A = this chain, B = another copy of it.
């Protein structure tokens, strides 16, 4: 599947405001661009003459078996992209066998999204708002509707500076639900303030609140990853929020190795940011990721094809990963080891 062509079609369908809201990054968008470029800089050292007749991409994430290490990273307000919103994403991901991490800023309630694909694996991404009841209500609903883990976003004590949205004067369409809608009149999509005082201690708070394992998203350093694990995190997600928070932040491909090495076997490590092909997924696996998540390509699939579009993007990436594994002489995920990366 030609993801650039897919994005071009989505851009045309969505128009500049919604498109830029999804595609854009913070500041001068250097991190946004570097995320993709950094995977491309990694040259592969494929193996020859391995038996790759049977390829298995089966893995477990926090003990749950999944057919693929490719998942859907959280992203906000899918009804901006398609009227069916997160329910379409949930169904498409379920059909592709992909984990779906639903956003706190979804345009549907967690229970509603869960009901769309009740058997599918799903995690819930958590923002902590200054008005903590918004968060606790969402977490309680997620915990009671079958979400299997919480993904605490650690890189957003405040929102980054999104120049495209400012230029477009972008606001959410009136019919897009927001979890904090009743709170106040808003002038844009930013919603009420985040809580900038969240710390490592809130990992335990969320775990106790929900009874669920907690993953910290946004980790870009080995020392931070270790502190997350010491504070009770079951995993860390290497992420720079798709280049939407701190412009100038290191690309996730450049940070992943350090984090994976620091964490070792003490927790699971995932990554998102700039992944655009099965070869990129394999690169991430080789650097130590247990799961690799994508957001924007999934949203382009959603915008252009609803449930089917989501499924097709994920299925295409999976097919592409299997091909890359075969061509690398790596029939299992365990074979996707660091020696596949040059230097």
Whether a CB of chain B sits under 8 angstroms from the CB of A186 is: no
**Chain A: interface size category:** 35 or more
Q: A324: which B residues are within 8 A, CB to CB?
A: 246
Instruction: Classify the secondary structure of A's interface with B.
Output: loop
Q: Does A53 contact B (CB under 8 A)?
A: yes
A328 within 8 A of B: yes
Q: Determine the distance from Cα of A87 to Cα of B255 in the docked complex, in whole angstroms.
A: 47
Q: Counting CB contacts under 8 A, is A262 at the interface?
A: no
Is A275 among interface residues, defined by CB-CB distance under 8 A? no
Q: Which residues of B contact A255 (CB under 8 A)?
A: 45, 342
Bound complex: CA A30 to CA B50 (Å):
24
Q: Name the distance in Å between A314's Cβ and chain B's nearest Cβ.
A: 17
Interface centre among A28, A196, A200, A203 (most CB of B within 10 A): A196
Complex partner residue of A249 from B44, B220, B254, CB under 8 angstroms: B44
Given the interface pairs A27-B279, A49-B199, A53-B197, the reply to whether A40 lies near B161 with Cβ below 8 Å is no
Q: How far is the CB of A68 from chain B (nearest CB, A)?
A: 18
Q: Is the CB of A48 within 8 A of B154?
A: yes
Of A27, A45, A158, A339, the most chain B CB neighbours within 10 A belong to: A45
Known contacts A48-B154, A50-B199, A53-B196, A43 near B246 by CB under 8 Å: no
5 A-B contacts, Cβ less than 8 Å apart?
A45-B220, A48-B220, A49-B154, A157-B326, A248-B283
